[in-house]
């Protein structure tokens, strides 16, 4: 083999090696830990990788659904307030007047999951899954809580640190925002203060089959008991 042939062969091998490295999947390539062990790197799961979920026919009843976004690794969008968790109502008022301790509104709890600009709210028998991007296309297209059959279509957005829901065809707004460790939920003149009682994958408070808690509108703006 001539000197020129040898050089060309080496260049070819180097090029092939570079191509193999370049075409590798960076997200799933193994890495080496400080201890010298090879550790597989998990591929990132984006909000768009997880199918949209909807309220089961007739509501979910006593079978509280499993988390939807538990496997998502996409960071929250910069505009998103962190509302992730299981939340329980601790205070409520209507038009500025505190509701009595035995008000059904105070039995409210809800699970909020987030990933990127996606928000999934599970409460009162319904599951409302949305992208808070201000579009009708990616908003809530589901059913209302009061009968689990009336269609609702809602535009969701993040505005100045507030999660805003606007049911299409109405002047209504439903908002959620953080206030310290609490979550403030406003709709139809009702203000509910909730406290975080666990992670989004935590079990919900007990639901009595004889007297299920009545949850005010998650996103549709329908009236509550």
Residue 150 and residue 143 in contact, taking contact as beta carbons nearer than 8 Å: yes
**Going along 22-117, which residue ranges are E strands?**
30-32, 38-40, 85-94, 97-98, 109-115
Q: Tell me what the mean pLDDT of segment 156-170 comes to.
A: 97
Number of C-alpha atoms within 13 angstroms, CB side, residue 189? 8
> Does residue 25 lie in a domain region?
no
- The reported pLDDT for the residue numbered 21 is 35
The mean predicted confidence, pLDDT, of the chain is: 82
Rounded percentage of the chain residues whose pLDDT exceeds 70: 73
Q: Which domain holds residue 147?
A: 47-198
At 68 the three-state DSSP class reads coil
Indicate if the pLDDT at residue 98 is higher than 60.
yes
> Does residue 217 lie in a domain region?
no
> Does residue 14 lie in a domain region?
no
Task: Report how many domains make up the chain.
Answer: 1
Rounded distance, CA 130 to CA 221, Å? 15
> Does residue 208 lie in a domain region?
no
Q: Tell me what the mean pLDDT of segment 126-136 comes to.
A: 98
Predicted confidence band of residue 43 (pLDDT cuts 50, 70, 90): confident
CATH of the domain at 120: 2.40.128.20
- The reported pLDDT for the residue numbered 46 is 97
- The reported pLDDT for the residue numbered 114 is 98
> Does residue 18 lie in a domain region?
no
Q: Tell me what the mean pLDDT of segment 57-84 comes to.
A: 97
At 104 the three-state DSSP class reads helix
> Does residue 211 lie in a domain region?
no
Q: Tell me what the mean pLDDT of segment 207-215 comes to.
A: 42
Q: Tell me what the mean pLDDT of segment 65-80 comes to.
A: 97
> Does residue 42 lie in a domain region?
no
């Amino acid at each position: 083999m001539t000197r020129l042939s040898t050089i060309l062969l080496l260049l070819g091998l180097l090029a092939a090696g570079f191509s193999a490295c370049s075409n590798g999947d960076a997200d799933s390539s193994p890495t080496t830990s400080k201890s010298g062990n090879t550790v597989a790197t998990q591929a990132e799961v984006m909000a768009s990788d997880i199918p949209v979920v909807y309220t089961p026919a007739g509501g979910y009843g006593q079978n509280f659904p499993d988390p939807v976004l538990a496997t998502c690794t996409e960071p929250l969008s910069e505009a998103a307030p962190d509302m992730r968790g299981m939340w329980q109502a601790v205070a409520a008022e209507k038009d500025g007047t505190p509701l009595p301790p035995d008000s059904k509104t105070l039995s409210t709890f809800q699970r909020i999951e987030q990933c990127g600009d996606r928000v999934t709210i599970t409460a009162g028998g319904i599951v409302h899954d949305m992208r808070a991007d201000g579009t009708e296309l990616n908003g809530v297209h589901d059913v209302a809580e009061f009968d689990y059959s009336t269609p609702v279509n809602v535009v969701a957005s993040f505005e100045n640190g507030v999660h805003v829901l606007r049911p299409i065809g109405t002047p209504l707004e439903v908002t959620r925002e953080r206030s310290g460790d609490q979550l403030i939920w406003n709709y139809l003149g009702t203000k509910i203060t909730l406290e975080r009682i666990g992670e989004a994958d935590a079990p919900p408070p007990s639901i009595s089959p004889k007297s299920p808690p009545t949850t005010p509108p998650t996103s549709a703006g329908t009236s509550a008991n």
